[in-house]
Structure 1
Amino acid sequence: MHFSVRPGFAFLLASLLQSATGFAQTPAPAPTPADAQSQQWFHLDFQKDAAVGISTQRTYQELLKNRKPTPVIVAVIDGGVDTAHQDLRRVMWKNPKEIAGNGQDDDHNGFVDDVYGWNFLGAKDGRNVDIDTYEDTRLMAKLQPLYEGKTRTSVPTAKREEFDLYTQVKKTYQEKLDENTKQAQQIGQLYEQTEQVVTQVKQALNVQRLDTATLHHPPTSNPALLEVSQQLYQGITTMGFADAESVVAEMKKAAEHGKTGLDYSLNLKYNPREIIGDNPENTKDRAYGNKDVTGPDPEHGTHVAGIIAADRDNNLGVQGVAGSVRIMAVRAVPNGDEHDKDIANAIRYAVDNGAQIINMSFGKYYSPQRPAVEEAIRYAGTKGVLLVHSAGNENKDLDVETQYPSPRFLDGKTIPNMITVGASARQDDEKLAAEFSNYGKRTVDVFAPGVNIYSTLPGNKYGNESGTSMAGPVVSGIAAVLKSYFPKLTPVDLKRIIQQSAVPYHTQVFKPGTQTKVPFDQLSNTGGVVNLYRAVQLAQQQP
C-alpha cells in the first residue's frame, strides 16, 4: 500500500477547517509557477535556518565541492514513475544493453524492452493493474469459506494456526470496512465544503494561493474575510501545512481512498490479477509483466523519485537530495496492497540490473509469502544493496505490531542491509514526530523529514505530499550521496553512518496518534533525525 494517504489525518483537517462564507466572487489572475526552492524545507540546515532539515545545500557547498562523485543507481519500487518529467528525464536509468521498442530481450535478462525498468503489475498486451485488493481482503476471500461459523475447538489441531489467522484477519478487515465507509461518506462531504470555502476565499482576496503568510495578514478589511482567514490560518498551521490547497488535496485523496476501498480493495469478489494472467501464489515465477514503468497512476512514485534525485543542474522546479544518481523505476505497488511475489521479484530485478540502493515506500500488516521476500532481501545483501523502507502511517508502535517488510528476518535477526524510517516535521517542537508516523524504539532506525515535502508530480507538475513515503526517499537520497562520493562503503557501512550521524532530539513530543508527550528520542533506536552534513563528515573519517 502506498504510504502517502492518511485518512484520519485528513478527517481531522476537515474538521478544523469548516467555516461558512458568503463572499462576492471576483476573478483570480492566472496562477504562476510556485517558488519551488523556498518550499523544499527539508534541504535546510537547523543552525542556519531553524528548520529540522538535512542540510543538503550546506553539505554540497562546504564538504563536497572539491570531490568528484561516481554514478549510483537507485531503484524506486513503487506505483510508477513519470519518466518524461522535466526534472526527472535526465536522471532516469536507461538500460544500456536494451534497444527501445524492438520487441526483443536484447540483454537476455528475461525482460523485453526494459529500458527504464520493469512493471510487475502489467500484462503482455499492455494492460495494467491500477487498484488491487488489500491483503486482508485476499486472506478473507481465501479463509472465510473454510472457517466462517466454526469454533477453534472444532477445527483440526493442524489447522488451528490458520483459524487464528482468519480470526485476526476478520477483525482487521471489518475495521478497514468501517473506516473506508466513514471516509467515503463524511470526508467526501467535508472535502466538497472545504474546497468551496478555499475557492471563495481565494477569489474574494484575489490571490492565487492561500499560504500561511497570506492568511495571517490577508489583503482585506472585510471583517468576515478576516475572520475566516484567521480560522483557515489556525487550522493549517495547527496541522503543519504550508497552504490551504495542500489541505484540500489531502482531503480529496482521503475521500477517494475511502470510496476506492469500498468498491475495489475491500471487495471480496474483485480480482484484478486476472489482467496479468499469472499465479500470484507461485513465487518462483518471474516471467510476467511489461515495460510500462509509468502505469496508470504514477503520482506517488514520481514524488518519491523527485525527493531522491530531481535534477539538481537544470534550473527547473526542485532539487533532489542526490546529484550523481540514476533512478530505476520498478512498478510493483498498486493502489491497494502489494503482492509479496511482486516485491520479491522487484527486489531481484533491481539487484540484477545494477541498483545499489532500493527505496521501498510501501508496506502492509500481513505477509503470507514472507519467506520469498526475505530470500530476495538476503540476495540483495549478498550483492551489496541497501534497502530503505518507510515505517508506515498508522501511528503504530512497530515494536508491538509487525509491519512488512519487517526489519527482522523470521528467525528474529535484524536485517543488516535494511533501514526503517519514520517521518518528522519542520519544527523542533511538540509536533516534531509526524502525528501519522509509525515508530518503535527497537524497530524504527531513524526519522527523516516527511511532512509537507515539495517534489515532482506527473505532467511536469510539483506539489506537497506527507508521509513516511516521503521520509524514506530522503534517506535513500542521503545513502546515494554517500555511495556516490564514498563508493567503497558497504550497505552495513551506509546504515551505520546514517544512524550514527542522525541528530538526536530530546524534545517532548506528542506520541504519534495521541496527546501524550514522550521524549522524541524514545521513538526510534537512534532517537534522531537524519542529517546529510553529519553523515558526510562521518564518511570522511572512514579508513
Structure 2
Amino acid sequence: MSVFPRPFLALLGVALLPATSFAQAVSASAPPAKVVQWTNLDPEKDKVMGISTQRTYAELLKNRIPTPVIVAVIDAGVDTTHEDLKRVLWKNPGEIPGNGIDDDKNGYIDDVHGWNFLGNSKGENIDVDLYEETRLVAKLKPLYEGKSRTSVPAAKRADYDLYQKVKKDYAAKVKEENEQYMQLAPLVGQLDGINEQLKQVLGVAKVDTAVLRNPPGASTNPQLLQLTSQLYANLKSSGLPDMDAVVEQVKQGATETKKHLDYSLNLDFKPRAIIGDDEDNTKDHNYGNADITGPDALHGTHVAGIIAADRDNNLGVQGVAGPLVRIMGVRAVPNGDEHDKDVANAIRYAVDNGASIINMSFGKYYSPQRSAVDAAIRYAESKGVFLVHAAGNESKNIDVVVHYPAPVSTTGTTYANFITIGASGSTNDKNLTADFSNFGKRVDVFAPGVGIYSTLPGSKYGTESGTSMAAPTVAGMAAVLKSYFPQLTAVDLKRIIRQSATPQHTKVPEPDNKKTVDFATLSGTGGVANLYRAVQLAIQQSAGTPKASSVGGQ
C-alpha cells in the first residue's frame, strides 16, 4: 500500500542548522493559526487551488434537494466512534447489531457498518502484511534461485522471468526502506529538540506558520531568522500547519518504516495465518469479521472524513459530501500491500450492499491475481458503480509502470466506471503538482492532496498528504453529484469530473526527474478537479443541454 509520501522530508535540511545557541529569548507570543480546509476553497474567489466546495453549496445547491448515496471506503479501517463520522456511517438496514446472526442473509454476520476481510471469526485482525514483492520472492525463490533460464521448462519461463524482475525490485525496496529509516530515526529527536527550543525562545505554545512568518525577536537575531525562515518555507510547501505536526509525522514515518523492514520485507513473516484461508483461492469470500476499525484506522479515518465528515455538527471538519451521503467501511488494506483476493471481495461486497461510489486509496506494482480484481471491476461496471482510485505516491509515470488496480483491462480497454486521481497542491505555481504524485495520461485529473486536514482516530484531527487524500476528494465530488443528480450514471460521473477539470498550463517540475514541464501534460485532462464546474455541467445535463465532448478523452 503506497500511502505515506513524506513531503516533510524537505525539513531534513533543518537538522543541519545550529539550533542550540540563540542569542536571546523573547516573551512575546502569537496565537496559533486557525486550520483552514483549503480543499474547500475556490481558485477564483480565494486564490487557492481547492475544489470550490463552499461556493458550490452556497451558490448552486442551496435550493436543491439531495438524495441518499452510499460511498464505500476500501481501506485500512474507519473509526466508527469518531465525533465527526458516527452520524454519517452507513447502517445495514437488514442487520441486527451484535446478535451473531446473518440477519439479511448476505453471507456476512453482523456487518452493521461494513465488513473486514483482514480478520477472522475470533475477532483477530491483521495489521502489518507483506509487500507484494516480498510475497512473490518468497514464493518463487525456492523454485528459480540459482537456475538458468534454459534449465527451466518452457512452460515455467514466464514465472522465471517474473522472479528475475521482482527480486531486483525487492532488493531496491529493502535498500530504500533502510535508507529512509536511517534518515528518519535520528531526525525525530533533532526536530523535537528544535521545536521545543523554539517554543521557549519565541514564547509560544505552538510554532506554526503565523509565528514563523513574523517570529518575535528574530529581526535582531540573524541565526534565529535563518532558522525560522527556512522552517516557514518548508511548512508552507509541505502543507503541514506547525512543527508539532512535523514531529508527529516524522515519528509516524519512522515507526511505519521500521514495521516495513521488520515485517513487510521479511520473507519468513506469514501474517495471513491469522485468517486461515487459502489466499490463492479467489473464489472464496466467506472469511473476515465485522470489525471495520481494525488495529490501525488512521488512514481510512482520514479518507472517510475527506469524503463526508459531518457538515452540520459544528465540529472539526466538513467533508466534501453531505448531508445524505453515508460511509460504508470495507477493511481490506493492511500496512503493507493488499491482497488481490481481498480487493476483489471488497469491491463485490460494496456493490452488493448498495454502494454507488467506491474509494480506493491504495495501490501496488504487482498484481498476481489481477484477473479476480478485473472481474470485480467489470462487475461494478455492470451495476453502475463508480470507482475512484489513487494514482500512487512514487513519482512514477503510470503510462510506463502499471499501478494496480489498473484503469484498463488486460486487453487494453479503459474501464468506463474507473477514474484515477493524482495529487495537487494549494498554489497555482511550481508546487501545483505534489512532488510525490504519480502522473501520466492514465491519471484522469489531479485533486488536492498536500496538507489535507481531516479526521483521525479518537475524535482527533490532523494533516496528511498523498494521492490517498486526492482520491477521496474526488469520491466526495462524485457523491455530491450523485446525491443531487441521482439520474447520473457512473459513466456520467467520470465524464463530468474529467470535463470540468480546466487545463492548467503552469510550469511545474515533473515528479520523476524534476525537469520543468507544462502541468497540463501530466494527466489525461491536464486539470485540477473542481466541484463548482462539475455541478454546473450536471445542471446543464439535467436541463437537457447537449453533452460536450470531454477534455482529453472519455
TM-score (norm 1): 0.96
AA aligned opposite 1:490: T
Match of 2:209 among 203, 208, 212: 212
For 1:195-344, list aligned pairs within 5 A: 195-221=192-218, 223=221, 224-323=223-322, 324-344=324-344
Aligned residue in 1 for 2:552: none
- Aligned match of 1:359: 359
Where does residue 398 of structure 2 map in the other structure?
Answer: 398
- How far the C-alpha of 1:230 sits from its partner, in A, is 2.2
* Contact 2:74 2:346 (8 Å CA) reproduced: yes
| 2:192 aligned counterpart, secondary structure | helix
- How far residue 262 of structure 1 moved from its aligned partner, in angstroms, is 1.1
2:435 is the counterpart of 1:435: yes
How many Å apart are 1:27 and its aligned residue?
13
Q: Is 1:76 paired with 2:73? A: yes
Residue aligning to 1:94: 91
Instruction: State the Cα deviation string for residues 177-203 of structure 1 (Å, max 9, x = none).
Output: 001111222221122211221122123
**Native 8 Å contact 1:396 1:438 kept in 2:** yes
- Which residue identity does 1:488 align to in structure 2? Q
Gaps of 5+ in 1: none
Q: CA deviation at 1:227?
A: 3.5
Change (3 A) 1:236 1:32: closer
Q: Aligned-pair distance for 1:130?
A: 0.1
Counterpart in 1 of 2:540?
A: 541
Indicate the residue corresponding to 2:17 in structure 1.
19
Per-residue CA deviation, residues 133-190 of structure 1 (Å, 9 max, x unaligned), is: 0000000000000111112122111111111100110000000100111122222112
The residue correspondences of 1:95-174 to structure 2 (distance < 5 A) are: 95-174=92-171
Partner of 1:469: 468
- Contact 2:33 2:208 survives alignment (8 Å): no
Asked if 1:408 corresponds to 2:405, the answer is no
CA separation of 1:380 and 1:30: change in aligned 2, threshold 3 A: farther
What is the one-letter code of the residue matched to 1:104? I
Deviations along 1:386-423, whole A, 9 cap, x unmatched? Answer: 00000000000000000100000111100110000000
Identify if the C-alpha distance between structure 1 residues 538 and 273 changes in structure 2 by more than 3 Å, giving closer, same or farther.
same
CA contact (8 A) 2:95 2:112 kept: yes
Deviations 1:443-495 (A, max 9, x none): 11000000000000011111110000000000000000000000010000000
SS of the residue 2:45 aligns to: helix
What CA deviation, in whole Å up to 9, does each residue of 1:505-528 have, x standing for no partner? 011111014331100000001000
Paired amino acid for 2:143: L
> Which range is displaced more, 506-515 or 276-285?
506-515
Provide closer, same or farther for how the CA distance between residues 65 and 17 of structure 1 changes in structure 2, counting only shifts above 3 A.
farther
Question: Structure 2 CA distance, aligned partners of 1:121 and 1:515?
Answer: 38
Aligned residue pairs: how many? 538
Instruction: Output aligned runs, 1:2-13, within 5 Å.
Output: 2-3=2-3, 5-7=4-6, 9-13=7-11
Q: Which moved more, 1:192-201 or 1:428-437?
A: 192-201
Contact 1:111 1:118 in 2 (8 A): yes
Say if 1:63 and 1:172 are closer, same or farther in 2 by CA, change over 3 A. same
- Contact 1:17 1:232 (8 Å CA) reproduced: no
Equivalent position to 1:179, from 176, 185, 191: 176
User: 2-side partners of 1:534 and 1:165: how far apart?
Assistant: 45
- How far the C-alpha of 1:371 sits from its partner, in A, is 0.4
CA contact (8 A) 2:33 2:209 kept: no
1:20 aligned partner, one-letter code:
P
Name the amino acid aligned to 2:538. Answer: A
- The whole-number CA distance in structure 1 between the counterparts of 2:21 and 2:75 is 43
**Contact 2:29 2:216 (C-alpha < 8 Å) held by counterparts:** no
- Give the 5 Å matches for 1:423-462: 423-441=423-441, 443-462=442-461
**1:53-96 residue CA offsets vs partner (Å, 9 max, x unmatched):** 10000000000000000010000000000011110000000111
1:505–1:280 Cα change, 3 Å: same
**Shift in Å at residue 6 of structure 1?**
1.9
- What SS does structure 1 have at the residue aligned with 2:108? coil
Q: Is the 8 A contact 2:42 2:51 kept in 1?
A: yes
Alpha carbons 2:389, 2:419 under 8 Å: kept: yes
Q: Secondary structure at the match of 1:528?
A: coil
1:277 counterpart letter in structure 2: G
| Pairwise CA distance, 1:314 | 0.4
List per-residue Cα deviations over 1:181-237 (Å, max 9, x = no partner). Answer: 112222211222112211221232222322222102012356243332223223323
Partner residue in 2 for 1:192:
189
Provide the TM-score with structure 2 as the length reference. Answer: 0.94
Secondary structure of the structure 2 residue equivalent to 1:456:
strand
CA distance, structure 2, for counterparts of residue 351 and residue 119 of structure 1: 15
Residues 89 and 328 of structure 2 are in contact (CA less than 8 Å); yes or no, is this contact kept in structure 1?
Answer: yes
- Distance in 2, matches of 1:280 and 1:487, equals 38
Q: Do the aligned partners of 2:26 and 2:202 also contact (CA within 8 Å) in 1?
A: no
Indicate if the aligned counterparts of 1:44 and 1:56 stay in contact, CA closer than 8 A: yes
In structure 2, the residue corresponding to 1:463 is in which secondary structure? Answer: strand
Match of 2:548 in 1: none
Residues 347 and 380 in structure 1, CA contact (< 8 A), matched pair in contact too:
yes
Bigger Cα displacement from structure 2, 185-194 vs 115-124 = 185-194
- The 2-side partners of 1:496 and 1:397 are apart by 23
Q: 1:81 to 1:23 in 2, by over 3 A?
A: farther
Counterpart CA distance in 1 for 2:10 and 2:32 is 29
Q: Secondary structure at the match of 1:530?
A: coil
Match of 1:64 in 2: 61
Of 55-64 and 12-21, more deviation after overlay is shown by 12-21
- Are 1:507 and 1:519, in contact at CA under 8 Å, matched by a contact in 2? yes
Change (3 A) 1:464 1:291: same
Equivalent residue number for residue 494 of structure 1:
493
Q: Is the 8 A contact 1:2 1:300 kept in 2?
A: no
Distance 2:73 2:28 in 1: 38
CA distance in 2, matches of 1:237, 1:309: 26
CA distance in 2 between partners of 1:278 and 1:79 (Å) = 19
Residues 286 and 48 (structure 1 numbering): CA distance in 2 closer, same or farther, change over 3 Å? Answer: same
SS at match of 2:358: strand
Pair 1:301–1:160, CA change in 2 (3 A): same
Distance in structure 2 (CA, Å) of the matches to 1:76 and 1:380: 15
Percentage identity across paired residues of the two chains: 62
Please state how far the C-alpha of 1:346 moved relative to its aligned partner: 0.4
Q: What secondary structure, in the 3-state scheme, does the structure 1 residue paired with 2:87 have?
A: coil
Three-state SS of the structure 1 residue aligned to 2:181 is helix
Backbone CA RMSD of aligned residues: 2.0
Change (3 A) 1:102 1:33: farther
Separation in 2, partners of 1:105, 1:151: 53
Distance in 1 between the 2:407 and 2:2 partners? 18
Residue 507 to residue 312, structure 1, CA distance change in 2 (3 Å) = same
Mapped contact 2:237–2:431 kept (Cα < 8 A) = no
The letter for the 1-side match of 2:522 is L
For residue 501 of structure 2, what is the amino acid of its counterpart? A
One-letter code aligned to 2:13: S
Say whether the 8 Å CA contact 2:29–2:204 is kept in structure 1.
Answer: no
Judged with a 3 Å threshold, the aligned counterparts in structure 2 of structure 1 residues 131 and 163 are, in CA distance, closer, same or farther, namely same
